[in-house]
Amino acid sequence: MEEIEHSIPRSHPRYHSLITRERLVKGFYEGIVVPQGLIAHGRGECFDYLIGEKTIPPARKAIRAAAALLLLARYPVISVNGNTAVLAGKDIVELAKVLGAAIEVNLFYRTRERAVKIAKLLKMYGAEKVYGVDDATMRIPGLEHPRGLVSPNGIWKADVVLVALEDGDRTQALRKLGKKVIAIDLNPLSRTALSADITIVDNVIRAVPLLVEEVKKLKNMDKIQLQQIISSYNNLEVLRETLNYIFDRLKSLAENNLKQLVKEVGV
Ligand code: ATP
Ligand code: MG
């Protein structure tokens, strides 16, 4: 990682974005990230550009509701794939610790070798137990192939599942199993975003640390107050606010600020 950081000048205007890409490429060569994951990241980057590469107000609302739901959960599970492990692994382990939640490796392109590597990385960050490596013996109904496999002691047992960069099919299948799903997804129009109970439209790199902070903040609230946060939350409304945020931002750029932006780019 240090070598990568040295090879990209800090002064580069897209420094953080380039470092993130390098981390994923490194994860790819290490066998943690699949090539499809690199493409998925590109789709995410595009939406990150549209929201201005920062956590926007509707995402903050979703993070608050997500923290409340996770705190009220009987058995919360954090589902981790290759991209998430590389981009937010350390914060995910912290989130699991503050919540007392389980972590499960859950892969769309599942191989045992990759699951082992992801679990190893999470353990290096301090995770004590990682489900989903050799114990993914239950199948989510309707999902054929190894992508539908989950652990009986992890996602299978969960009442609330946090997923990131998830596929729409699987999100819907988890909901059909009666689970509450919290999704972190930069695309407010993905099937995942549209079918989750709570959708955090933000980069997983920013969202997970914010979620940790929020859980710490709400940890001492009583159950009734946490319930109130959840019952006053409306995911459809939050998605609408997100689309309006993007719409207003683009409109303001097009109408007033494009000249300024061109100047800032330095042409
Ligand atoms: P869906 O199956 O839900 O319709 P999709 O097929 O468009 O989504 P997938 O490849 O299944 O996309 O899932 C990847 C999702 O993760 C995309 O919606 C993408 O925008 C999002 N994504 C990519 N990188 C990040 C990131 N760093 N943080 C949050 N979301 C991301
Ligand atoms: Mg998909």
- Whether 77 and 152 have beta carbons less than 8 Å apart is answered as no
Smallest Cα–Cα separation from 175: which of 223, 213, 140? 140
* Residue 78 burial by Cβ neighbours in a 10 Å radius (0-12, 13-18, 19+): buried
| Dist. CA 185 → ligand 1 center (Å) | 6
Smallest Cα–Cα separation from 190: which of 44, 88, 17? 44
| Dist. CA 144 → ligand 1 center (Å) | 20
Q: Residue 37 CA: which ligand is closest?
A: 1
For residue 243, what pLDDT is reported? Answer: 98
First to last CA, the chain: 32
For residue 4, what pLDDT is reported? Answer: 57
Whole-number Å distance between alpha carbons of 168 and 46: 19
Per-residue pLDDT of the chain (267 residues; tens, 9 = 90+): 555 556 788 888 788 889 999 999 999 999 999 999 999 999 999 999 999 999 999 999 999 999 999 999 999 999 999 999 999 999 999 999 999 999 999 999 999 999 999 999 999 999 999 999 999 999 999 998 888 999 999 999 999 999 999 999 999 999 999 999 999 999 999 999 999 999 999 999 999 999 999 999 999 999 999 999 999 999 999 999 999 999 999 999 888 888 887 887 776
For the record, the structure tokens of 173 come out as 């299948």
For residue 3, what pLDDT is reported? Answer: 59
List ligand 1's pocket residues with C-beta within 6 A. Answer: 40-41, 43-44, 47, 87, 164-165, 167-168, 184-187, 190-192, 203-204
Query: Where are the domain boundaries for CATH 3.40.50.12640 in the chain?
Result: 57-240
Residue 55, amino acid: T
Closest residue by Cα to atom 23, ligand 1, is 44
| Dist. CA 59 → ligand 2 center (Å) | 21
Whole-number Å distance between alpha carbons of 254 and 46: 18
Q: If one looks up domain 57-240 in CATH, what number appears?
A: 3.40.50.12640
- Whether 149 and 57 have beta carbons less than 8 Å apart is answered as no
* Placement of tokens 């407010």 in the chain: 188
Closest residue by Cα to atom 25, ligand 1, is 44
**What's this model's pTM, rounded to 2 decimal places?**
0.95
Q: Residue 163 CA: which ligand is closest?
A: 1
